[in-house]
């Protein structure tokens, strides 16, 4: 009996060690995300229940909402948890995950995602940086293209070739985690271009996708 117990213990230790090693290697090899949305690593460093307003949506949000200016003029704390081309279903899972650590008085959502395609170009980014949770798993199953599933369940599959380009910053952040973001999710763009007349964003209206988005919007409303 003792022999079998020792063998089971050795197997358990091996499995746990393997999971830890894969997790650390994955954290190191993943490109670090400090701006342009989906900055979950920094968001989770915020003190619990310290944020009054949370913003969600696409680049229209993280390039235009400046939490420091809001705080300066009103004393209201806020954070931008948007993502590039963040679809409405992805916003739903972002909100569900974000309120685990914060209890905001207000949630604001960029509704232009209602007219996005079912899948946009940044599914890997939007879901890949979410913390491991039921919300991440649900986002993979319900809001990600089938061909993205392998890399989202096993991120090392997407990033194992980055070994040759790793920096000390990659290793430090991968091992010790992110620091708080002084911009609170806002991405500053130094390049300024004059804006003339409005132009179409080229989204194609698809009635079925719109109906699915509408359902998720109702689910978001029920959350808050």
* 151 within some domain: yes
| pLDDT per residue as tens digits for the range 170-195 | 889 988 989 999 999 999 988 777 77
* 18 within some domain: no
Q: What is the pLDDT of residue 181?
A: 95
Among all chains, which residue has been given the structure tokens 């949630």? Answer: 107
Cβ contacts of 7 within 8 Å, gap of 6 or more: none
The tally of domains found in the chain comes to 1
Q: What is the pTM of this model?
A: 0.88
* 40 within some domain: yes
Q: pLDDT band at residue 162, thresholds of 50, 70 and 90?
A: confident
Query: Residue 179: exposed, middle, or buried by beta-carbon count in 10 A (0-12, 13-18, 19+)?
Result: exposed
* 75 within some domain: yes
- The residue range of the domain holding 77 is 32-187+199-223
- Average pLDDT (133-155) is 96
């Amino acid at each position: 009996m003792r022999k079998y117990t020792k063998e089971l213990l050795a197997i358990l230790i091996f499995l746990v060690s393997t999971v830890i090693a894969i997790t650390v290697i994955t954290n190191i090899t993943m490109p670090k995300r400090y701006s342009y949305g989906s900055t979950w690593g920094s968001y989770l460093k915020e003190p619990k229940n310290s944020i009054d307003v949370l913003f969600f949506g696409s680049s229209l949000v993280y390039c235009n909402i400046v939490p420091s200016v809001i705080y300066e003029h009103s004393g209201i704390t806020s954070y931008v948890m948007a993502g590039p081309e963040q679809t409405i279903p992805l916003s739903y899972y972002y909100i569900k995950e974000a309120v685990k650590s914060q209890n905001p008085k207000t949630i604001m959502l960029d509704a232009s995602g209602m007219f996005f395609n079912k899948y946009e170009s940044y599914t890997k980014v939007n879901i890949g940086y979410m913390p491991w949770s039921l919300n991440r798993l649900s986002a993979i199953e319900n809001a990600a293209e089938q061909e993205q599933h392998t890399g989202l369940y096993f991120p090392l599959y997407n990033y194992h070739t980055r070994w040759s380009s790793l920096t000390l910053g990659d290793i430090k952040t991968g091992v010790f985690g992110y620091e708080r973001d002084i911009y609170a999710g806002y991405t500053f763009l130094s390049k300024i271009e004059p804006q003339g007349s409005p132009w179409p964003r080229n989204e194609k209206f698809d009635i079925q996708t719109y109906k699915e988005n509408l359902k998720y919007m109702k689910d978001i409303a029920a959350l808050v």
